[in-house]
């Protein structure tokens, strides 16, 4: 599955994916929720892209559904970026406390 993250986010994306991969807790927690949210956001991005392509090619003439799909994908992506920013800020704060 192709990632929806912009090219400039490589380092940040690696940090989040590393945190997800190294989770050893058997109970569902924040990392599992984060993983599900990333997957859901990616699915919404793909759905919006498909809806735009179908509208552009004339296979689907419903502009309202296309705009709703694009709006959902945008909102989900913005929320994910805010969560990412908060997680990174908290991580940086912890690093500053250890010095």
Condensed to tens digits (0 to 9), the pLDDT of residues 9-29 reads: 445 556 555 655 655 546 778
- The reported pLDDT for the residue numbered 28 is 79
Whether 85 maps to a domain, the answer reads yes
Whether 77 maps to a domain, the answer reads yes
Flag whether pLDDT at 73 surpasses 50.
yes
Whether 2 maps to a domain, the answer reads no
Give 16: exposed, middle or buried? Use CB within 10 Å, 0-12, 13-18, 19+: buried
Whether 15 maps to a domain, the answer reads no
Q: How many domains does the chain have?
A: 1
Whether 8 maps to a domain, the answer reads no
- Rounded Cα distance, 88 and 26, in Å: 24
Whole domain around residue 80: which residue ranges? 27-98
Whether 3 maps to a domain, the answer reads no
């Amino acid at each position: 599955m192709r990632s929806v993250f912009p090219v400039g986010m490589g380092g940040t994306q690696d940090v989040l994916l590393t945190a997800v991969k190294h989770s050893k807790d058997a109970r569902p927690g924040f990392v599992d929720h984060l993983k599900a949210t990333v997957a859901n956001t990616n699915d919404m991005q793909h759905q919006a892209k498909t809806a735009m392509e179908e509208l552009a090619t004339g296979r689907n003439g419903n502009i309202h559904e296309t705009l709703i799909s694009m709006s959902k994908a945008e909102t989900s992506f913005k929320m994910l970026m805010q969560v990412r920013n908060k997680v990174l800020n908290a991580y940086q704060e912890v690093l500053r406390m250890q010095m």
